[in-house]
Structure 1
């Protein structure tokens, strides 16, 4: 793992010799990484490029020339220096590798045919490639009760564990949840949780993915498929707005697991459990599979697509365009949001549409805020100012990136929040205040000389969002204005839903047109009208205004695209009343939720991994979402 102190060394290039071949590497780079980057693979179990090296498994032993002759070193803990001569294939190295594997297999059960890791197991692969070929051990192996349920999602098989400490190190170094640890000593050393404390981490699934054997397995995937049975496609997680890259894997048209993809720009291979195990919703038996139309008895009944669309067309055409509104677009793709906005603005001819539900930031602030920072700018930040939601709860993988910057890279983390957050333990300064007093706290901070000294040196990254609904919704704009004026500062406004930025780019906001064009921009409107021919005049109503309009009968119809205002709007009573008072509601969704259950027509749509498109994350990065399986039933 690179540290800020070692960053200057990486700029210097040196030459080392690996197996008789001269290669150019970065000064101070770990030998195991340098060799791999230049085509020489050194076997390993405990080393992981995103964690600190520990040299525990000894599988990566190599010979290095020294003034006293050749000596064996662990390549995962040895930095490169100029002129280093390395031998990874000598007889001594091969003998050491065989010995390490023989020791590891003494107590390891030979249950590959029933192990979930079979076919993608590093221990299995390296035993075949570097092992002795046969074992001299004939005694009884060590036995433990198996498996142990250490959380609702993760099972532990202690017999398979090779004590590489990847899981315990991840929990301590990366996630900050040291809930799994070694216990006992000697031959009885084992990984376990603490008594009466489950492995209740938001990131427990990562330990399953990085485990080099089948000691940790995920309950949703256990005994479901073999790796060679899986079809896979790389995609983007849409659970939140971080935009983690994932591998979606399916068998027989059923998604069976998500794996994190190592992407420097976003998630660095990590996933939160909400994102990793969210695939179970795709396979849910409660998915909508056919259109539903409300009958004269007041109940929803199955219908054909043609009948359902006829009802929608008749009911929407019976009211004026400006009496119709739309909510949604932030949970799907950019292409779906664009089609939604174009339909409402040019076919229905209404300006009333919103992708947020009164719990986010002003759309003009979100699209117009500059200078913008990227997630990867956290790697170089000297100071991080976080005034927004608890990242561990709402943007979990961004929480991991901020935690790494503060804990490993030496950034000063300043948190301003009314409550305790998951990052408080690594903060250089935490400012806690009573909810609703944010404006006065901001004034105090702007006049604080100690804080001014702490943030004097850039680069500074400001993470700005809403800490809660008790705050004035104009506070984030004031905070952003303060941070932006600091030397070397850049900003990341924080949003909750997966594709808010994409929806805003597509014009799903009362004050915006596609392309982040203000509704008041005459030139932008004229350019759009050349293609759309008709664009409604003036700004529309936001989510709360739409719900108020439905209650007041000034609006008569509502179109919902993946939106559940009854569950998500800050005032669920208002939302419920609005849907009940609306003359007509049509919902396009994957489930029958609290809002779509009150609709007059419900249309089943394809969900994640069933449709193709793009999404835009909170830093403005556009990424691909790919299709792997067909949607259920008649969903489109």
Structure 2
């Protein structure tokens, strides 16, 4: 039986166009109709935001027992015995009239509008509109376009005041930076004078705008929708794993758009992820390998570069003299291949996909895990013990914000300083650096708190403890490194204290890098083999299928750089890593790269570290190869090949 035919347990019977359907209790008529195969046109309605009934395009005849009347289907819930007619003459006349009014001042610039070809106003005018206008007066003209930020352009002539962008900014992102201004016939959408639309999520307003009033500066006049080839993939900007669509034309990536996947991103993207499409076509991309000669890095043949790469590894004095940093930007399949090369052929365990900003592999893979949906489950309690999620994992912030505002989720924050989510937290405490574990132990403990701990007053601690104690079920912890100046052992100690006090606690690891979870699964961590098997437990089995296995647990990134600085690393391999810019201890990174006898790099573009390499291999990047990736909750999703590497 199809999903739309399954009778909900709490369903109500309604009649739509003479056919009885079963709607969910509390379901809006517009949703029930679409779920059962009847599309009702709309502009302002969006399934991820509260309905407002602004555009009136969804007017249909509804009879709730007192006779038929026109009602906005996005504002009325299904009730037993309700009858709706979406095809009556009255309904069609109302929709026809709404479109005529919307087009009274809307410019007829479809041939040059970026929305043309995928425009709901265009489509619905063809399907439900009058065909011609009775208005002969001159349309209004306004300056166009207005850059309301570096990324978003506003064309006020096209705006139909549907309230989508303003609702998203206020309700979803919590950044009410764009709103209605003026009154009556002069009402328009805009930002506060001289203030940019400085939201981390501004690109979503471009995607949900139904008329092309908001356009992206990076895509403007670049391609037409019918010229685009589209493939679904997974964003690799951070580790949340948002589903996206990749649109390309003429073998070039033109834009990314969010895809609504219920367990993860709900169709939203952060601007870092959405506009990272520009990286794929950057002029800085490497198109050929480079080798170092007397004058610096020069282009070389692939055979020569690969030969020097292999010779450097082959000439290393021992397996322990090879160090590998990076790998979190790889696909799972690539991560396994590199893991097998270094651990199964060269027998080195000095491999680490994390650059000193993550958690030990045994903690990430060994703690009881929670999904994003479980963290944001209505009525739950979340202990946020990690980085500023708005900065590091922006779409996870949107999910947590919705959970706190709409679903009664209690958030308790333990962080060295205020963050983007502090205003949403029921309690927020800021311990002194290095003493987070003491505060967490007090919060989950049973002893009376009668003194200040780690710079946090007893009153603040009691407030936070009360918020946690009010939970009727298990708490979930978003666990990560809030301060890279602190050792990861402090975060581990805090997690241990939570588990000892509340064994039913589950954890969502707030790791920054895109596929770090997949890299750990594939063994790109010291003491770990592919399949989440420790070196001690899996060496015997792997020795039967691999040519070799490491003889002892190796070094992490910090250890590799220290060994290199001391002259104990013959070959340092950088797999899409830039320690000089990305490792917390810049001085150690500098000494490590200077001390390594040979530096080999594999990357899509030159960075501060790969510029110091002896051999640089050009790699295919995002949208240029197929594979899979694993997000912070352990969800494996696909990566798609859309364009040819340079």
TM-score tier by shorter-chain length is over 0.9
- Give the C-alpha shift of residue 409 in structure 1: 0.8
What is the distance in 2 between the residues matched to 1:544 and 1:381?
41
Query: 1:469 corresponds to which residue?
Result: 484
Shift of 1:449: 5.4
Deviations 1:142-188 (A, max 9, x none): 11111000001000000000000000000000001100000001110
Please tell me whether the aligned partners of residues 364 and 511 of structure 1 are also in contact (alpha carbons under 8 angstroms).
Answer: no
Task: Please show how residues 508-519 of structure 1 align to structure 2 within 5 Å.
Answer: 508-519=524-535
Any residues of structure 2 matched to 1:61-460 within 5 Å, and which? 61-297=59-295, 299-319=296-316, 320-447=318-445, 450-455=463-468, 456-460=471-475
Is 1:571 equivalent to 2:620 in the alignment?
Answer: no
Question: Using the alignment, how far apart are the partners of 1:351 and 1:412 within structure 2?
Answer: 42
Moved more, 308-317 or 238-247: 308-317
CA deviations on 1:325-378 (whole Å, 9 max, x unpaired) are 111110110111111111111332211110001111111100111143344541
Distance of 1:497 and 1:133 partners within structure 2:
52
Secondary structure in 1 matching 2:364: helix
Q: Do the aligned partners of residues 533 and 310 (structure 1) sit closer, same or farther apart at CA in structure 2, a change above 3 Å counting?
A: closer
CA contact (8 A) 2:626 2:641 kept: yes
Question: How many aligned residue pairs are there?
Answer: 621
Alpha-carbon shift at residue 315 of structure 1 (Å) = 2.2
2: CA distance, partners of 1:260 / 1:251? 18
Give the Cα separation in 1 of the matches to 2:503 and 2:489. 23
Residues 609/381 of structure 1: CA separation in 2 closer, same or farther (3 Å cut) = farther
Match of 2:455 in 1: none
2:643 aligned with 1:629, yes or no? yes
> Counterpart of 2:286 in 1: which secondary structure?
coil
1:535 and 2:552 aligned = no
Q: Could you report, residue by residue, the CA deviation over 1:477-501 in whole angstroms, capped at 9, with x for unpaired residues? A: 2332344443753210110100011
1:612 pairs with 2:607: no
Cα distance in 1 for partners of 2:392, 2:462 equals: 32
Find the residue that maps to 1:274 and give its secondary structure: helix
Q: TM-score, normalized by length of structure 1?
A: 0.95
Taking structure 2 as the reference length, what is the TM-score of the superposition?
Answer: 0.94
SS of equivalent residue, structure 1 residue 379: coil
Contact 1:11 1:27 in 2 (8 A): no
Change (3 A) 1:196 1:488: farther
1:491 counterpart residue number: 507
CA contact (8 A) 1:329 1:561 kept: yes
Are the equivalent residues in 2 in contact too, given 1:416–1:430 (CA < 8 A)?
Answer: yes
Return 5+ residue gaps in structure 1 as ranges. Answer: 1-8
- Per the TM alignment, residue 533 of structure 1 is displaced from its structure 2 partner at its CA by 3.5
The secondary structure found in structure 1 opposite 2:488 is: coil
Distance in 2, Cα, partners of 1:481 & 1:36: 48
Distance 1:296 1:371, change over 3 A: closer
CA distance in 2, matches of 1:450, 1:434: 18
Cα distance per residue 1:206-250 (max 9 Å; x no partner): 000000001000000000000010011100001100000000010
- Distance change in 2, residues 1:210/1:369 (3 Å): same
Return the alpha-carbon distance in structure 2 between the equivalents of residues 79 and 486 of structure 1.
Answer: 41
Aligned equivalents of 1:434 and 1:226: distance in 2?
54
Q: CA RMSD in A?
A: 1.5
